[in-house]
Structure 1
Amino acid sequence: MRDTHNDTRGYICNDQHNPHQYDTISDQHNNKTNTNNTDTNTYTNINTSINTNANTDTNVNSDAGLNVGTDSNSDSGLSQEEISHLNEMAPELRDALLRLRKNIRIRQREKEQAAEARELNRLMGIKTPEDAAEEQRLLNLRRAMDEQERQNREAVRRKFLCNSGMEEAGIPLAFRTATMEAVSRRGIPEALEYPRMRICDYLSGIDKCCKSGTGLILTGPCGTLKTTFACSIMLEAFAHGIEARFELVMSMLDRLVMLEKANREEYSRTMHKLCTVPLLVLDDLGAEGHHADFVRSKLEQIVFQRHANNRALIITTNLSPQKLAGLYSGRIMDRLRERCLVLEHNCGSLRAKNVFSITA
C-alpha cells in the first residue's frame, strides 16, 4: 500500500523542486486578494456617494427650513401630520415644495429688511428714492383732494348764495339778507350780546363744527332773533361752501307723513336729505304739540341719524330745556345735550317794540 503521508510530502517536496508552480499559485492568491480589495473600495465609494447624497438632501431640507422625517420641527410651522404627508410624497414634488417654502421665507426676510432700512433712514433723516417717490405721490393725492374739495365748495357757493338757491334751501324770504354783519350793524340788545358772541365764535369755526357735528339750541320767547341768528349761520355756511337746509318743524313733519303715504320714493329721498345734509336748522321745535307716536318717530329718526353721523343741528324753540325734556323722549334729549350748546335769549319780543327789522 502506498503511504499517503509520503505522497503528500513528496508533493511538497516536488513543489520545492518546482518553484514556478508555487509562484503561479501565489499569483492567483494575490489576484483574488486584489479583487476583494477592489470590491471593498467600490462598496466604500458607493457608501460615500450615498452619504453625500443624504447630506445634500438634508442641506436642502435645512435650507428650506424643514427637516422632513424628524420629530423636531418647531421652526417649520407644520404639524406632524403635514410632515408625514410630505414624507409620503415623491422626492421631486417634496423638493419643489421645500424650495418654494425657502423662496417665500427669503422674500419675507427681504421685505422685513427693507422695512427696517426705511425706518432707520427715517430716523436718520435720509430719504431714499423710493421714499421721495412715495412722498411725492401722497403730496399729489392731497393736492387732488384739496382741489376737489375747493371745486365742491365753489359749486355750493354758486348754487345757494342767490335767491333761487336760498329758496331751495328753505330760507324764508325775510331772512335771506340776515348775515351776522347786517344784524350787528342794526344793533343788538344787551340781553342778547352773550348769545351773539357765542354764535360769532361758532361762525369762526364753522368748518370744524360741521365736521364734528357740533350744534346749537337757541331758546327764548318769540321775537328774540332766534330764527334770525339761525339763518345767519346758514348764510355763513354757504359762504364757506357748506350745504345747509332750513325746516319749520311743523311743516316738515306734516310733509313727511303725507309723502310716506303718497310717494314712498320721494319720502325716502327727503328723509335721506334731512339726515345727511351737513347743516340742518329745525325752526320752532315744540310748536308741533303732541303728535302721534308715529309722527314723533320721524323726528327721532332724524336726530338719531344726524347724531350717529356727526351732522350739525341748529334748533330754535320757545320752550326751555326743562319743557323740552318733558315733551320729547330721553333718547332725543340725551343726544341733543351731548352735541348742542344751549343759548338762552332772555329778552322781550323785538317785533312788538319794532326795534329790529331785518328787511329794512
Structure 2
Amino acid sequence: MTAQTLSRLRQLKLGGMANALETQLEQIGTYEGLSFIERLSLLADHEHLLREHRKQDRLIRQANLKLKATIAEIDYQHPRNLQRAQIARLGQSDWLERGQNLLITGPCGSGKTYLACALGHNACLQGYSARYYRLSRLMLALTQAKADGSYPKLLGQLAKIQLLIIDDWGLEPLRPAHRNDLMEIMDDRHGQTSTLMISQLPTDQWYATIGDNTLADAILDRLMHNAHRIPLKGESMRKTLGKLTEDEHPG
C-alpha cells in the first residue's frame, strides 16, 4: 500500500509530497503523535515549498541575467553613492507591484550591471518574471522578428515581463526604426510592468541620444515620470580592485 501510494503521488506530479511521506515513514516515532490532518499539512507544505523553489529556478534561468549577483553580496564599502536603505526598499519589490521603473546611471566600472542583476535575481526569488537585454541585442531581436513575422508576438512577450532590464542605454544613437520599437515597448509597459534602464550617461543627456524630439518626449515621459533613480559615482571598481591586487602582489 505504501509503495502504491508513493507511486500514485509521483504520477500526479506530487513529488514533494511523496518525498515528505517517505521521510515520515523513515523517521519512526517522530510523527506518531500528530493527527492525520497535521501530517497531511506537513506533506502539503513540503510540496508547496518544492514548487516555489522550482518556480524560482525557472524564473532565474529565463531572466538570462548577465551576472550571478545577489542583494546580499552588494558592495557598500566602495564609495559610489549607493545607499543601503534605498536598496533595502527596492528589495521589497513594492515598486514592481506598482509598475514603477528604475534608472541606474554611473561611470564605466561602477557596478551598474551587477546591481541591476542583483535586483533582477531578487525579483525572481519573489516570484516576478525578469529578463536582461543589452539594448543592441534587444533591437537586433526586434529587427529579426519583423523579418520573420514574429514581431507582434515578441512585443507581447516583452510587455508581459514584469521586470525588463535594458543595459547600455545611450551607448550609441538610436536608428529611426529602433526609436519606434522602443516607443512600442514603453507604451505597452507603461504603468503595468517595470523597466530597469542602465546607462553610463546621466539622465539629463538621454533626450539627445534618442534623436527625435517627439519620440524622445513620449519615450522618456513613460520611462521617467514614475522612476526610482540610483546615480552611481566615483572611480571604477575594476580599477580599484586592480590596484589592490597589484599592492597585494608586488612584482
For structure 1, the 5+ residue unaligned runs are: 1-148
Work out the percentage of aligned pairs sharing the same amino acid.
21
| Alpha-carbon contact 2:207-2:220 (below 8 Å) kept | yes
DSSP 3-state at the match of 2:128: coil
| Alpha-carbon contact 1:179-1:235 (below 8 Å) kept | yes
Please state how far the C-alpha of 1:183 moved relative to its aligned partner: 2.3
Task: Tell me the equivalent position of 1:277.
Answer: 161
Aligned CA-pair RMSD: 2.3
Please state how far the C-alpha of 1:154 moved relative to its aligned partner: 5.2
Runs of 4+ with >6 A deviation: 149-152
Please state how far the C-alpha of 1:296 moved relative to its aligned partner: 1.3
Match of 1:188 among 77, 85, 96: 77
Give the 5 Å matches for 1:251-290: 251-261=137-147, 263-265=148-150, 267-287=151-171, 289-290=172-173
1:326 aligns with 2:213: no
Please state how far the C-alpha of 1:326 moved relative to its aligned partner: 2.0
Task: Tell me the equivalent position of 1:171.
Answer: 65
Task: Tell me the equivalent position of 1:27.
Answer: none
Q: Distance in 1 between matches of 2:196 and 2:82?
A: 19
Structure whose CA Rg is larger? 1
Partner amino acid, structure 2, of 1:312? S
DSSP 3-state at the match of 2:169: coil
Please state how far the C-alpha of 1:248 moved relative to its aligned partner: 0.6
Give the 5 Å matches for 1:101-180: 155-161=54-60, 165=61, 168-172=62-66, 175-176=67-68, 178-180=69-71
1:302 aligns with 2:185: yes
DSSP 3-state at the match of 2:233: coil
**C-alpha distance 307-239 of structure 1, shift in aligned 2 (>3 A):** same
Q: Distance in 2 between matches of 1:355 and 1:335?
A: 39
Task: Tell me the equivalent position of 1:92.
Answer: none
DSSP 3-state at the match of 1:193: coil
TM score, norm. by length of structure 2: 0.69
Q: Distance in 2 between matches of 1:272 and 1:158?
A: 23
Please state how far the C-alpha of 1:292 moved relative to its aligned partner: 2.4
Partner amino acid, structure 2, of 1:171? L
Give the 5 Å matches for 1:1-360: 155-161=54-60, 165=61, 168-172=62-66, 175-176=67-68, 178-184=69-75, 187-194=76-83, 196-204=84-92, 206=93, 208-261=94-147, 263-265=148-150, 267-287=151-171, 289-308=172-191, 310-328=192-210, 329-354=216-241
Q: Distance in 2 between matches of 1:294 and 1:221?
A: 28
Please state how far the C-alpha of 1:259 moved relative to its aligned partner: 2.1
Q: Which moved more, 1:334-343 or 1:293-302?
A: 334-343
DSSP 3-state at the match of 1:241: coil
Partner amino acid, structure 1, of 2:59? F
Higher share in helix: 1
**C-alpha distance 327-201 of structure 1, shift in aligned 2 (>3 A):** same
- Residues 108-153 of structure 1: per-residue CA shift (max 9 Å, x gap): xxxxxxxxxxxxxxxxxxxxxxxxxxxxxxxxxxxxxxxxx99986
Please state how far the C-alpha of 1:192 moved relative to its aligned partner: 3.0
Partner amino acid, structure 1, of 2:170? G
**C-alpha distance 181-151 of structure 1, shift in aligned 2 (>3 A):** closer
| Alpha-carbon contact 2:174-2:209 (below 8 Å) kept | no
Task: Tell me the equivalent position of 2:19.
Answer: none
- Residues 313-359 of structure 1: per-residue CA shift (max 9 Å, x gap): 11110111111022231111112221212221111111122269xxx
DSSP 3-state at the match of 2:201: coil
Please state how far the C-alpha of 1:219 moved relative to its aligned partner: 0.7
DSSP 3-state at the match of 2:197: strand
